[in-house]
Amino acid sequence: MKLNPLGTKANVAADEGVTFVGRSHFPQEKMAMLWKHVRAWKRHVIAGHHRLSRSLTTSEGHRPSIVHKRSIDILHDPWFNKGTAFSMTERDRLDLRGLLPPNVMPPDLQIERFMADLKRLEVQARDGPSDPYALAKWRILNRLHDRNETMYYKVLIAKIEEYAPIVYTPTVGLVCQNYSGLFRRPRGMYFSAEDRGEMMSMVYNWPAEQVDMIVVTDGSRILGLGDLGVQGIGIAIGKLDLYVAAAGINPQRVLPVMIDVGTNNEKLLKDPLYLGLQQHRLEGDDYLAVVDEFMEAVFTRWPNVIVQFEDFQSKWAFKLLQRYRSTYRMFNDDVQGTAGVAIAGLLGAVRAQGRPMIDFPKQKIVVAGAGSAGIGVLNAARKTMARMLGNNEIAFESAKSQFWLVDAKGLITKERENIDPEALPFARNLKEMDRHGLREGASLVEVVKQVKPDVLLGLSAVGGLFSKEVLEALKGSTSTRPAIFAMSNPTKNAECTPEEAFSILGDNIIFASGSPFSNVDLGNGHIGHCNQGNNMYLFPGIGLGTLLCGSRIISDGMLQAAAERLAAYMSEEEVLKGIIFPSISRIRDITKEVAAAVIKEAVEEDLAEGYHGMDARELRRLSQDEILEYVKNNMWSPEYPTLVYKKD
């Protein structure tokens, strides 16, 4: 016997692998509790009880919504559909009587019912690498997303630990890879190279009058999976799911966008079922013209929108960031979000050694991967060290000597031909390398052996790069507690697994990975803690904070404030246990804190222009606690609004 998701014992026919779950298996206490809940809910509905929030700014989750449709059209509209949870009075008001089974379900029971079915289906379908049911779960959740958004987000928020790995990393990678097959209903907008000259008008095809957050990708570097072309839209959808679940951005005001300028993935180009433009990627000015037109179009229709750039290949990630960051409200998650999360993790690793954060500039850090993420981390780490060392030119110069950068061609030195300008500041001086017994192109293992780093950080997209040999070499680290950050996604691209790290280096290390892994049982009652070092701990708060302060740009200071808040989030006790990032179950709280830190910084930099009822002057007057309250009250929660019909 094993426990089913409802907490009851289910019959398991082990050979067939089938679990029987049904009402008859509910234990009596559970049934009694559910019935109590049903009765209370029905009383609440009959009493016509509508809560109105009276806080700094009213949360619209509780106001009645005016709808201009009725009957079957409501059931087919995921923004308003409540399925079996429509009350009888609402069914009458909206001409729904008879179109639904007669039993009115309280929302919690509706979720129980869905979960029971989800669990039953899980045992019948098999796909996905690390989780054999991952895609099956994604399909079921996606169908729910299509028909009832409120319920979808209720499930996601309530079970974020279980379903973030499905709607986000790692399964979202698998979804993108299989997107042509999985595509059912469209979600988001597609701006393609064929739409040049049309974007300014086509942007009005999107039904929402207000859009707060756009996540845009060109599909050129999806996680560590390379160029997936139009199929990359899955990552924009997954990121926005976290914006809703973690930051409480209203799901009616998010827009996933794919800019399809072609793909250089030959397999996709040869696939007749591929859904994107069947041409090679536009380059140079042609490429820029498409992205420029897109930016102009969305900011013309929604001047207050925030645009997050996601999974653009490095060569464009940096250029586009420089091109737009001082004129548009935008940021690049892979460059800037990742940098902040890594800084928080690196500071956590210093604290975990029992040292103060101010010792960070003494850390020797080897970074494998010189792409948008690796370089983003290095720039931010260098600035953080420089600030701690006196915040002057000399400090900035000297800080860079703490880093060793290794890419596909090995250690990057000044000797490197055609060196990428972004990597140049971190290229090592040859004379100094001679002293270390290193040379241009030295292998990762040689670098680790010679440098004896405190931290080994991977953003290379190469699964298994931290081989046995590399991890053995790290045993020579001069740190009392070396840190390993295997940050590449998805799971199979992680530079090493926590099992590999703990089994070779023992339990006195800090470990973090980009995709989720389980903790490792080290025997003798010891647990090797696996942290998830993922930009999901920052981007939702950066977006929410920017929205609520109304800053026209996202400054370095706002990003730094976000990272520092995350770094300080973990208690001394947790950090000493090796827990440097919070559990994802706390993501809504962290996001609230990060957003508040972003707002505070924007106010201090005089960038905050206000949002809705909260103007710049009022924002300046808020205390720390009031800022937190303001953020909390503006986070959307998945509650069914009372619907009232009005003719168009």
Ligand X SMILES: O=C(O)C[C@H](O)C(=O)O
| Residue with tokens 């060290």, as numbered in its chain | 385
Least distance to ligand NAD from the beta carbon of 221, Å? 5
Exactly one of 192, 534, 551, 591 binds ligand X (CB under 6 A); that residue is: 534
Q: Does residue 532 touch ligand X according to CB under 6 A?
A: no
Q: Is 351 annotated as a binding residue?
A: no
Q: Is 647 a known active-site residue?
A: no
Token pair belonging to 235: 């990552």
Q: Which of 491, 233, 175 is nearest to 167 (CA)?
A: 175
420 assigned ligand-binding residue: no
Give the residue, chosen from 195, 260, 334, 593, that forms a contact with Mg ion under the rule CB under 5 A: 334
Q: Read off the amino acid at residue 590.
A: I
Instruction: Please give the residues from 507 up to 526 whose contact with ligand X meets the rule CB under 6 A.
Output: 514
Among 4, 169, 252, 560, binds ligand X (CB under 6 A): 169
Residue 258's DSSP bridge partners are 190, 217
Sign of CA dihedral 189, 195, 200, 202: negative
Closest CB to Mg ion among 234 and 361? 234
Sheet with 410-411, side-by-side order of all strands: 410-411, 403-407, 365-368, 455-458, 483-486, 510-513, 530-532
CA atoms within 13 A on the CB side of 476: 12
DSSP per-residue letters across 229-254: GGGGHHHHHHHHHHHHHHH---GGGE
Among 218, 334, 407, 446, binds ligand X (CB under 6 A): 334
The least CB distance from residue 621 to ligand X, in Å, is: 36
> Considering beta carbons, is residue 225 or 298 the nearer one to ligand NAD?
225
Residue 489 assigned to a binding site: yes
Closest residue (Cβ) to ligand X? 169
Contact 537, 164 (CB under 8 A): no
CB-based closest residue to ligand NAD: 371
Q: Which of residues 112 and 422 has its CB atom nearest to ligand NAD in the complex?
A: 422
Q: Which of 78, 389, 406 is nearest to 244 (CA)?
A: 78
User: Which residues, other chains included, contact 28 with Cβ-Cβ below 8 Å and sequence gap of 6+?
Assistant: none
Q: Which run of H or of E encompasses 309?
A: strand 306-309
What binding mask, one character per residue, do residues 222-241 give for ligand X by CB under 6 A, x or -? -x------------------
The answer to whether 588 is annotated as binding is no
Establish if 311 lies at the interface with Mg ion (CB under 5 A). Answer: yes
The one catalytic residue in 168, 274, 328, 640 is: 168
Exactly one of 241, 260, 333, 407 binds ligand X (CB under 6 A); that residue is: 333
Contacted by 87, from ligand NAD, Mg ion, ligand X, none: CB < 5 to 8 Å by type: none
Among the listed residues 239, 383, 400, 600, the single catalytic one is 239
Task: Note if 133 is an active site residue.
Answer: no
Task: Find the binding residues for ligand X in span 268-327 (CB under 6 A).
Answer: 311
Which residues 6+ apart lie within 8 Å of 190 measured at CB? 230, 233, 257, 258, 260
Establish whether 429 is an annotated binding residue: no
The answer to the question of residue 491 lying near ligand X (CB under 6 A) is no
Cβ proximity of 260 and 217 under 8 Å: no
* Pairing outcome for strands 610-611 and 9-13: unpaired
Contacts 24+ apart (CB under 8 A), 273-280: 273/180, 273/181, 274/180, 274/229, 274/230, 274/231, 275/179, 275/180, 275/183, 275/230, 275/231, 276/192, 276/219, 276/229, 276/230, 276/231, 277/192, 277/193, 277/194, 277/229, 277/230, 279/193
Binding site for ligand NAD (CB under 6 A): 221, 223-224, 314, 334, 338, 341, 368-374, 406-408, 444, 459-462, 465, 487-489, 493, 514, 533-535
Residue 463 touches which of Mg ion, ligand X, ligand NAD, none (Cβ within 5-8 Å per kind): none
Contact of residue 407 among ligand X, Mg ion, ligand NAD, none (CB under 5-8 Å per partner type): ligand NAD
Given candidates 250, 489, 513, 532, which one binds ligand X under the rule CB under 6 A? 489
Interface of this chain with ligand X, residues 368 to 407, rule: CB under 6 A? none
> Does 334 carry a binding-site annotation?
yes
Q: How far is the CB of 7 from ligand X (least distance, A)?
A: 31
Query: What are 308's two structure tokens?
Result: 């997050």
Nearest to 295 by CA among 188, 193, 203: 203
* Cβ atoms of residues 608 and 550 within 8 Å: yes
Helix axes 624-633, 539-549, angle to 10 degrees: 100
State the binding site for a divalent metal cation.
Answer: 310-311, 334
Contact residues toward ligand X (CB under 6 A) are: 169, 223, 311, 333-334, 489, 514, 534-535
State the binding site for (S)-malate.
Answer: 221, 489, 534
Which residues are catalytic, by number?
168, 239
State the binding site.
Answer: 221, 310-311, 334, 489, 534
Contact residues toward Mg ion (CB under 5 A) are: 311, 334
